[in-house]
């Protein structure tokens, strides 16, 4: 058990969705307002994608959240979520949407995003020393017209976008490649750097 008295564990060979849900629960454990909510949860909840067969089962008990792939038959409720939008719940089955368990799980599946600078710092601390990463990451926030520089070496890599989008990308909420290809963020760097940054984004999304 961690110092926060909350443990988030997964099966031995977790699927991407299991890893993503676990990462989100760990993020909630770092939010002071959500930590007691997560610690006090008890019950079995299935989280299922609204668009495809992907599903995970979360078992909450005694301060532990265990995430496994698939939909357990002994679940207390099923949450149908939009995987493209931070596990936004679109339907609740087996309980009223405002029932205590459904409401509590809803809150820990959608923790507030940190400020974009904090998100960028966390991203850099977690991935900046990985092989192939740029020596310096320059983040430009378009709506605040400000720049944040991480690292002091070469080569440089530049990412620009609005504050909310930057926070989503750097926390792994949105994948880096999707944000680039949809134009949500703009970049300045080489193609090999793009590949490395995409890998770093997935590392944060599934391992942070």
Identify whether residues 104 and 121 lie together within a single domain: no
- Is 2 domain-assigned? no
Identify whether residues 101 and 126 lie together within a single domain: no
Convert the chain into a string of H (helix), E (strand) and C (coil).
CCCCCCEEEECCCCCHHHHHHHHHHHHHHCCCCCHHHHHHCCEEEEEEECCCCCEEEEEEECCEEEEEECCCCCCCEEEEEECCCCCEEEEEECCCCCCHHHHHHHHHHCCCCCCHHHHHHHHHHHHCCCCCCCCEEEEEECCCCEEEEECCCCCEEEEEECHHHHHHHHCCCCCHHHHHHCCCCEEECCHHHHHHHHHHHHHHHHHC
Identify whether residues 102 and 158 lie together within a single domain: no
Structure confidence at residue 1 (pLDDT): 37
Provide CB contacts within 8 A for 203, sequence distance 6+: 126, 127, 130
Structure confidence at residue 89 (pLDDT): 87
- Is 62 domain-assigned? yes
- Per-residue model confidence as pLDDT tens for the chain (208 residues): 344 578 999 999 999 999 999 999 999 999 999 999 999 999 999 999 999 999 999 999 999 999 999 999 999 999 999 988 888 889 999 877 668 898 999 999 999 999 999 999 999 999 999 999 999 999 999 999 999 999 999 999 999 999 999 999 999 989 999 999 999 999 999 999 999 999 999 999 988 5
Identify whether residues 101 and 68 lie together within a single domain: yes
Is the separation of the CB atoms in 88 and 62 below 8 Å? no
Identify whether residues 78 and 130 lie together within a single domain: no
Residue after which a domain boundary falls, among 78, 109, 140: 109
Q: Which two tokens stand for residue 183?
A: 């134009």
Q: What is the pTM of this model?
A: 0.84
Q: Which two tokens stand for residue 90?
A: 């679109």
Number of domains in the chain: 2
Structure confidence at residue 208 (pLDDT): 59
Convert 119-155 into a string of H (helix), E (strand) and C (coil).
HHHHHHHHHCCCCCCCCEEEEEECCCCEEEEECCCCC
Identify whether residues 197 and 120 lie together within a single domain: yes
Identify whether residues 164 and 105 lie together within a single domain: no
- Is 1 domain-assigned? no
d(CA 144, CA 166): 12
d(CA 134, CA 183): 21
Identify whether residues 18 and 105 lie together within a single domain: yes
- CATH number, position 91: 3.30.1050.10
d(CA 144, CA 167): 13
Structure confidence at residue 84 (pLDDT): 82
Range of the domain at 195: 116-207
Q: Residue 72, Cβ neighbours under 10 Å: how many?
A: 16
């Amino acid at each position: 058990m961690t110092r926060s008295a909350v443990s988030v564990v997964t099966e031995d060979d977790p699927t991407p969705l299991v890893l993503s849900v676990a990462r989100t629960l760990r993020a909630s454990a770092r939010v002071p307002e959500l930590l007691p909510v997560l610690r006090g949860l008890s019950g079995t909840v299935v989280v299922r994608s609204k668009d495809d067969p992907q599903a995970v089962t979360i078992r909450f008990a005694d301060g532990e959240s265990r995430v496994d792939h698939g939909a357990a038959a002994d679940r207390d409720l099923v949450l149908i979520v939009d995987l493209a939008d931070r596990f936004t719940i679109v339907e609740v089955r087996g309980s009223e949407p405002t029932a205590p368990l459904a409401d509590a799980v809803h809150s820990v599946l959608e923790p507030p995003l940190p400020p974009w600078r904090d998100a960028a710092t966390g991203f850099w601390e977690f991935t900046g020393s990985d092989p192939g990463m740029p020596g310096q990451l320059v983040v430009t926030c378009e709506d605040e017209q400000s720049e944040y520089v991480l690292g002091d070496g070469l080569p440089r890599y530049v990412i620009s976008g609005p504050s909310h989008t930057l926070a989503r990308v750097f926390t792994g909420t949105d994948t880096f490649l999707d944000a680039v290809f949809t134009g949500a963020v703009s970049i300045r760097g080489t193609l090999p750097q793009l590949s490395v940054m995409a890998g770093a984004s997935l590392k944060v999304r599934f391992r942070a």
